[in-house]
Amino acid sequence: MDIVAERKARQRKEGISARKGLDQDAAKRYSRIISERLLAMPCYSYIKTIFSYQAFNGEADITYFNEQAVRDGKSVAYPICYGDGQMIAAVPIDLEAWEIGKYGIRAPRKERSYIINPSEIDLVIAPCTAFDGSSRMRVGMGAGYYDRYLPQCNNAISIAAAYEVQAVQGQIACDRWDIPLNGIATEANLYLEQGL
């Protein structure tokens, strides 16, 4: 394992531990604040198609954001992950469209969803294990799904949702293919790219 991979693994482990260490009531309260921050972003008023996620393993739970976006008439898609590190964006058509997918994460069933082309996505909300607000970089789970998918979302604003306790101490580990997001939303801050 190279030095960057070792640092990423350490930061991933620390970030997961920090988010799981949050009191359940605090995590629920923080998740609601994060959702409200996302809903209050200026870009929210004009976006139509969102690629979001279902919280898993202590991730910031943005269910309130997802549900409000649907109430506001937005299309909200979620990942369907495949074994080769590829994923697609699927909008479930009804409550029967859900199953437990790869890695034990709640995901839409492809046959009961419609698939969104990445170029149609206006906003990506990504989970993360650790982040750096100043560089707007995230550390994911290490399988590379978002590293492969985000470059295809060439018309989208990309925001990671996380708890502030997941912020890295010192410099975040980055590979040459890692690119900054447009922002990171936490309960304490909204770290946005200048001009956004």
Run of H or E including 15: helix 3-20
Q: State how far the Cα of 74 lies from the Cα of 78, in Å rounded to an integer.
A: 13
pLDDT score at 50:
98
Predicted TM-score (pTM) of this structure: 0.94
Torsions phi, psi of 70, nearest 5?
-65, -45
**Backbone φ/ψ region at 159: left (φ over 0), alpha (ψ -120 to 50), beta:** beta
pLDDT score at 37:
97
Q: State how far the Cα of 99 lies from the Cα of 122, in Å rounded to an integer.
A: 25
pLDDT score at 1:
58
What top-level class would CATH report for the domain 3-190? alpha beta
Domain residue spans of the chain = 3-190
Q: How many CB atoms lie within 10 A of CB 121?
A: 25
pLDDT score at 175:
84
Average pLDDT of adjacent 10-residue blocks, the chain of 196 residues: 86 95 97 98 96 96 98 97 90 92 90 96 97 94 88 96 95 86 96 83
pLDDT score at 138:
95
